[in-house]
Amino acid sequence: MSMPIPPETTLADIDWNLLWHNARKQKSWSSKGAADWDRKAVSFATRNAGTSYVSLLLERLPLGPDCTILDMGAGPGTLAIPLAGRVRSVTAVDYSAGMLEVLTRQAQAKNIQNIRTIQGAWEDDWQQLGIEKHDIAIASRSLAVGNLSLALQKLNDHAGEYVFIADRISPTPFDPAAFAAIGREFQSGPDYIYTVNILYTMGIHPCIDILKLDRDSVFTGREEALQAYGWMFKDLSAKEEDALRRYLESRIISSEGSQITIRREHPPQWALIWWKKDRPLEQECYKK
């Protein structure tokens, strides 16, 4: 039963950071640690390279040859690698050593020399890590943090001109039907609307673009699909894994050789939240 709202309550009385913490306690998925991402680094880089998500985000960034970029939660270079050819320099920060190793190998293979990598987390002392202010600060699908308000403040403080955040729109990146198929309850946890409202309390009125991706995902085979979907869950039992296999079979819309295409019930969607530093209260929102 919901509690009645006191009659004198206004928007100013709402503690969005507290609501965000409460929603995180109820989420039915587990945040991944650095060791988890270390193991995922190679496959994650392969699956995300050249995806529509990357092109949709990049086309909205105000890039130039003299621009400096801070990519917080850079992963294996999903954005850092393509950004490097369009800007003066990229600082790629991630707490997973494995992710940064993959990024470095990719940069070396492409003879990219203007990416600096730093192993660090949102919670670390960024000054001690040597993270300086950059023209554009980016957090792309990397806001799984312990303190959202502090993370947003850090990102804003380290941006000279623009901040861009790609945050989840529930249920992205999860598939509620997969949870139901294995008999687990799905609770989304907080998504972008909490981020937007916390920014509002910080005096920042951001622009929001919706990045809508394709419902169909192509996998090299059933095992790759199982591994990709299994990443949504913690400690799958053998019974649950069998149920997940059956669910994935039911979602296959085409197959050619070992390659299969799986259609999700909900298309993945990400909110691109951004603002210009010298106009936090009166943005000029537009689609580039």
Task: Answer whether residue 1 shows pLDDT above 60.
Answer: no
| C-beta of residue 209 within 8 angstroms of C-beta of residue 183 | no
pLDDT at residue 48, as a whole number:
60
- The Cα 189–Cα 42 span in angstroms is 27
47 compared with 288, residue with greater pLDDT: 47
pLDDT at residue 288, as a whole number:
46
Q: Please tell me the pTM assigned to this model.
A: 0.89
The average pLDDT across 11-34 equals: 76
At residue 146, the 3 state secondary structure works out as: coil
Whether residue 234 lies inside any domain: the answer is: no
pLDDT at residue 25, as a whole number:
82
- The Cα 170–Cα 160 span in angstroms is 30
pLDDT at residue 270, as a whole number:
97
Task: Answer whether residue 40 shows pLDDT above 60.
Answer: no
What pairs with residue 275 in β-bridges? 163
Peptide bond into 171 cis (omega under 30): yes
H or E element: which one contains 131? none
pLDDT at residue 51, as a whole number:
78
Q: What is the pLDDT of residues 243-288, one digit of tens each?
A: 999 999 999 999 888 889 999 988 999 999 999 998 755 666 754 4
Whether residue 249 lies inside any domain: the answer is: no
Q: What is the pLDDT of residues 125-171, one digit of tens each?
A: 999 999 999 999 999 999 988 899 999 999 999 999 999 999 999 99
pLDDT at residue 20, as a whole number:
84
% of the chain with per-residue pLDDT over 70: 85
pLDDT at residue 39, as a whole number:
55
Whether residue 31 lies inside any domain: the answer is: yes
How many domains would you assign to the chain?
Answer: 1
Q: What is the pLDDT of residues 176-215, one digit of tens each?
A: 999 999 999 999 889 999 999 999 999 999 999 999 999 9
Whether residue 231 lies inside any domain: the answer is: no
pLDDT at residue 4, as a whole number:
60
Q: Give DSSP secondary structure letters for 29-83.
A: S----HHHHHHHHHHHHHHHTT-HHHHHHHTTS---TT-EEEEET-TTTTTHHHH
Contact partners, residue 266, CB within 8 Å, separation at least 6: 171, 172, 175, 176, 215
Whether residue 165 lies inside any domain: the answer is: yes
Domain that holds residue 55: 12-215+267-276
Whether residue 223 lies inside any domain: the answer is: no
pLDDT at residue 234, as a whole number:
83
pLDDT at residue 242, as a whole number:
95
pLDDT at residue 38, as a whole number:
46
Cβ atoms within 10 Å of 99's Cβ, excluding its own: 27
Whether residue 65 lies inside any domain: the answer is: yes
- The Cα 133–Cα 151 span in angstroms is 15
CATH number at residue 30: 3.40.50.150
- The Cα 244–Cα 248 span in angstroms is 6
Whether residue 4 lies inside any domain: the answer is: no
